[in-house]
């Protein structure tokens, strides 16, 4: 992958832009905003998807496959963190001497001068960002935004708004969340990840301290997460609002009920506000408390915030139901870290009732799989009834000899509760064979595991009645 140069001075003008990897969720969202701002946009990707089709309808020129000729006469090249340095379009831009910007640098250029809410944290970013955006729109604020996933009620992951507020999901994976001129920072948690980039837990923590210290108006952070509490101790001269279940939290979450719709209350400045969510799981009550804290901290009416949060219907690939066949519900979820997996499975448990959970795990990144195989196994074995492990989705990493999905399966204490099945059709058939009426089959990864969902649904349909 190409490491972005965060010290690079952004050009005064970007002109026409070419996006390499334009079909990705983050890249397509940013490309959509540049189109809305009147820029000419071209791009390329390995294959077609709904993002490439939507961008063409908006006026972008999108090529399938990577070729130096795709660059055309673009003034600026924008790349994703998954791009390799030998990409022909990237090399052509370097040879021509035109600016090459990481997607976060292009976004920082676009945001310049607006009141930015930046949402960071190892887990919960996309949902928390979606909640803030949804509530702001219900409050009439009309923000611009870029989220890491499609907001189901809006059908998009980004949009240009007429208001002064811009909301972004800030990616910590490669340090680019430090680029933004942030007004309000929300830190959902600080749970060490991406150590292939940071090198140590201490460096990971230090990056979050820098991110929060850069916020000019307000820092909102968890009172419950150990890492977030540790980060808060390193902040200097900041206005801070904490949220969580701790008695000391400024926005205190309490009376959480997760059976059926999630209901809970938040206490703020001597008053209680009851909230009923459309999305399941205790973790989403916590995400909503963080979003509430951001918005009351910015001066919005608490009752209006509650009304907005209660309309949030979720984001794509976050406990997303894809179908029910013969009584078996098939969900997909983006969880790709042991902590996230545990949270997602606990939420599924509140939905499945007396049924069972059959998890389909696609390990993401060779480095993460090697470091956390045991933690993944522990999460799945304790919270799912059976787990099927696929092979590693390498994303931006080269294969590592000996690192496969088998590393996770081998760490189960009860081998009868896990299958390592690299062949996707075998995995789909096995999941369908295990599932019974009332069960959930759930795919988990931020790789391309969602592509197995149609195979699972088909396998379920082919089972003997």
Parent domain of 329: 320-459
339-376 residues labelled b (16+ CB within 10 A) or e (exposed): bbbbbbbbbbbebbeebbbbbbbbbbbbbbbeebbebb
Is 95 annotated in the active site?
no
Q: Are residues 336 and 428 in the same domain?
A: yes
Instruction: Give the contacts of 331 (CB within 8 A, at least 6 positions apart).
Output: 319, 320, 321, 322, 348, 440, 441, 442, 443
Is 257 annotated in the active site?
no
Q: Are residues 285 and 420 in the same domain?
A: no
pLDDT per residue of the chain (465 residues) written in tens, 0 to 9: 677 777 788 899 999 999 999 998 789 999 999 999 999 999 999 888 888 999 999 999 999 999 999 999 999 999 987 788 899 999 999 999 999 999 989 999 999 889 999 999 988 889 999 999 999 999 999 999 999 888 888 888 899 999 999 999 998 877 788 889 999 999 999 976 655 655 677 888 899 999 999 999 999 999 999 999 999 999 999 999 999 999 999 999 999 998 777 999 999 999 999 999 988 888 899 999 999 999 999 999 999 999 999 999 877 777 788 899 989 999 999 888 898 899 889 888 988 889 999 999 999 989 989 999 999 999 999 999 999 999 999 887 889 999 999 999 999 999 999 999 999 999 999 999 999 999 999 999 988 899 999 999 999 998 776
In a domain, 173, yes or no: yes
Q: Which token pair is 443?
A: 């795919």
Instruction: Give the contacts of 169 (CB within 8 A, at least 6 positions apart).
Output: 119, 125, 126, 129, 146, 147, 148
- 124, 148 contact by CB (below 8 A): no
pLDDT at 465: 64
Which listed residue (76, 100, 126, 315) is catalytic? 126
Q: Are residues 282 and 383 in the same domain?
A: no
| Among the listed residues 190, 184, 167, the one whose alpha carbon sits nearest the alpha carbon of residue 239 | 184
pLDDT at 46: 86
Which listed residue (42, 125, 129, 404) is catalytic? 125
| Among the listed residues 220, 420, 441, 165, the one whose alpha carbon sits nearest the alpha carbon of residue 325 | 441
Which listed residue (89, 169, 381, 397) is catalytic? 169
* 37, 68, 103 - which closes a domain: 103
* 309, 344, 379 - which closes a domain: 309
Whichever domain contains 41, its CATH number is 3.40.50.720
Q: Are residues 132 and 254 in the same domain?
A: yes
Q: Are residues 303 and 328 in the same domain?
A: no
Q: Are residues 286 and 139 in the same domain?
A: yes
Is 126 annotated in the active site?
yes
Whichever domain contains 407, its CATH number is 3.90.190.20
- Please state the domain count of the chain: 3
36-63 residues labelled b (16+ CB within 10 A) or e (exposed): beebbbbbbbeeeeebbebbeeeebebb
* 309, 340, 369 - which closes a domain: 309
């Amino acid at each position: 992958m190409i490491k972005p140069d965060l010290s690079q001075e952004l050009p005064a003008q970007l002109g026409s832009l070419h996006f390499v990897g334009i079909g990705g969720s983050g890249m397509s969202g940013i490309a959509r905003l540049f189109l809305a701002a009147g820029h000419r946009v071209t791009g390329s990707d390995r294959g077609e998807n709904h993002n490439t089709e939507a961008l063409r309808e908006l006026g972008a020129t999108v090529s399938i496959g990577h070729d130096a000729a795709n660059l055309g006469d673009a003034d600026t090249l924008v790349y994703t963190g998954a791009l390799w340095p030998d990409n022909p379009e990237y090399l052509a831009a370097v040879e021509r001497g035109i600016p090459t910007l990481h997607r976060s640098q292009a976004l920082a250029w676009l945001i310049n001068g607006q009141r930015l809410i930046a949402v960071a944290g190892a887990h919960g970013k996309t949902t928390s960002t979606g909640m803030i955006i949804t509530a702001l729109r219900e409050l009439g604020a009309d923000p611009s935004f870029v989220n890491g996933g499609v907001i189901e009620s809006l059908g998009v992951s980004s949009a240009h708004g007429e208001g002064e507020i811009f909301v972004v999901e800030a990616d910590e994976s490669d340090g680019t969340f430090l680029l933004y001129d942030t007004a309000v920072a929300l830190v959902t948690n600080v749970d060490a990840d991406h150590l292939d980039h940071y090198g140590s837990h201490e460096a990971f923590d230090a990056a979050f301290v820098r991110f929060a210290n850069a916020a000019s108006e307000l820092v909102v952070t968890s009172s419950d997460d150990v890492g977030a509490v540790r980060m808060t101790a390193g902040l200097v001269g900041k206005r801070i609002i904490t949220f969580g279940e701790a008695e000391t939290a400024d926005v205190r979450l309490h009376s959480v009920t997760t059976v059926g719709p999630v209901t809970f209350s938040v206490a703020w400045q001597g008053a209680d506000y009851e909230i009923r969510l459309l999305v399941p799981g205790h973790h989403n009550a916590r995400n909503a408390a963080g979003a509430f804290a951001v918005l009351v901290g910015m001066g919005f009416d608490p009752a209006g915030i509650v009304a907005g949060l209660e309309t949030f219907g979720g984001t794509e690939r976050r406990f997303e139901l894809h179908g029910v066949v013969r009584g078996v519900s098939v969900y997909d979820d983006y969880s790709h870290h042991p902590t996230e997996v545990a949270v997602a499975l606990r939420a599924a448990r509140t939905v499945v009732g007396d049924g069972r959970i059959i998890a389909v795990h696609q390990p993401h990144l060779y480095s993460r799989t090697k470091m956390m195989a045991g933690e993944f196994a522990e999460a799945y074995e304790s919270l799912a009834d059976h787990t099927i492990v696929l092979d590693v989705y390498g994303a931006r990493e080269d294969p590592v000899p000996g690192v496969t999905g088998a590393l996770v399966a081998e760490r189960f204490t009860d081998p009868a509760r896990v299958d390592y099945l690299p062949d996707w059709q075998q995995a789909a058939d096995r999941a369908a064979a295990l599932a019974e009426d009332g069960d959930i089959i759930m795919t988990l990864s931020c790789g391309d595991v969602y592509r197995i969902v149609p195979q699972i649904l088909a396998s379920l349909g082919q089972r003997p009645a």
